[in-house]
Amino acid sequence: MQCDRAREMIGASIDGELTGSDRQSVMGHLQTCAECAALAQDYARIGRQIAAAGREPAPKGLALRIRASLAEEAETAPKALEAQAASAFTPVPATNRRTWSSGFARQAAGLAAACVLSSALTWGVVTSLAPGMRLESDIVSAHIRSLLQDSPIQVASSDSHTVKPWFNGRIDFAPDVKDLTPEGFPLIGGRLDYIGDRRVGAIVYRRRVHVVNVFMWPAANAEPQAPRFETVKGYNLMTWSRSGISYWAISDL
């Protein structure tokens, strides 16, 4: 089996979609071709990372709060049902009916207000935490998408004077494109991507067999920001801003 044909079938083989002679041919080829075997390992690794990227851990203490709430409800529900049953078969004096209706209305109004307040507080917490987490998740997803493509670039060149003009008219700012070959990060090209509900520029570098994506877009704050490092879902990220541009570099380095 030729390498081109084997590479077309590696994904299906990993997903268990091949049977019979096709599977045997691919597996036999992977045992004799180091490059295709390495590609198969990359596909499997990326698949695991994408699967993990869709999972977010529950907040600490959530399980305990849910159990406590269920236990409290289980304890109070039978008593409430007994009270409702008793009231259903107990005549209510005419003089107390108006008072009972008024009390019930106040309880219902209080319950509705509590529900609204709880929803508002929950929404406030979620919206205050979500933007940063969503941005980091978008960056990781964009990086993984680039690794799944045949090529992570749309304009292939190691010349910054070729890559930078390619973005003219495609994004609303001039990206900072540098060749970092002397530092060990040769420029291989660039592409467009979509992060944080906007079109962004992506400058792509290599470090041996590793791909480094540097995403950039106009910064919300004109003040420069010092570099900040963090690890998200197994990927290393560095972010900073300079001259009105926000930068996010990501790789598995």
Q: What is the pLDDT along the chain (253 residues), one digit of tens a residue?
A: 778 777 778 777 787 777 778 888 888 888 888 888 888 888 788 777 776 665 566 676 777 778 778 877 777 766 666 666 666 555 555 555 555 555 656 666 666 655 555 555 554 544 444 555 788 889 999 999 999 888 889 999 999 999 999 999 999 899 989 999 999 999 999 999 998 888 999 999 999 889 999 999 999 888 889 999 998 888 999 999 999 999 999 999 8
> Tell me: the pLDDT tens digits for 48-93?
777 666 556 667 677 777 877 887 777 776 666 666 666 655 555 5
Cross-strand bridge partners of residue 215: 202, 248
Residue 84: the pLDDT is: 65
Q: Kindly report the number of other CB atoms within 10 A of residue 68's CB atom.
A: 11
For residue 18, the model assigns a pLDDT of 73
- How far is residue 82's CA from residue 22's CA, in Å, rounded to a whole number? 67
Determine if the pTM surpasses 0.85.
no
Q: Is the dihedral of CA 120, 125, 128, 130 positive or negative?
A: negative
Residue 15 DSSP class: T
Task: Please tell me the number of Cα atoms within 13 Å of 179 on its side-chain side.
Answer: 11
pLDDT confidence of residue 149: 83
C-alpha to C-alpha distance for 2 and 248, rounded to whole angstroms: 39
d(CA 174, CA 245): 9
Q: What is the phi/psi pair of residue 178, to 5°?
A: -130, 145
Is the distance from CB of 179 to CB of 91 less than 8 angstroms? no
User: For residue 227, what are its two tokens?
Assistant: 């570099």
Q: Specify the 3-state DSSP secondary structure of 41.
A: helix
Contact 18, 5 (CB under 8 A): no
Whole-number Å distance between alpha carbons of 63 and 227: 36
Per-residue confidence (pLDDT) for residue 206, from 0 to 100? 92
Report d(CA 208, CA 185) in Å as an integer. Answer: 8
In angstroms, the CA 249 to CA 63 distance is 36
CB atoms within 10 A of CB 8: 11
Q: C-alpha 204: how far from its chain's center?
A: 20
Rg over CA atoms, the chain:
29
What's residue 134's pLDDT?
82
Report the relative pairing of strands 210-218 and 225-232 from DSSP bridges.
unpaired
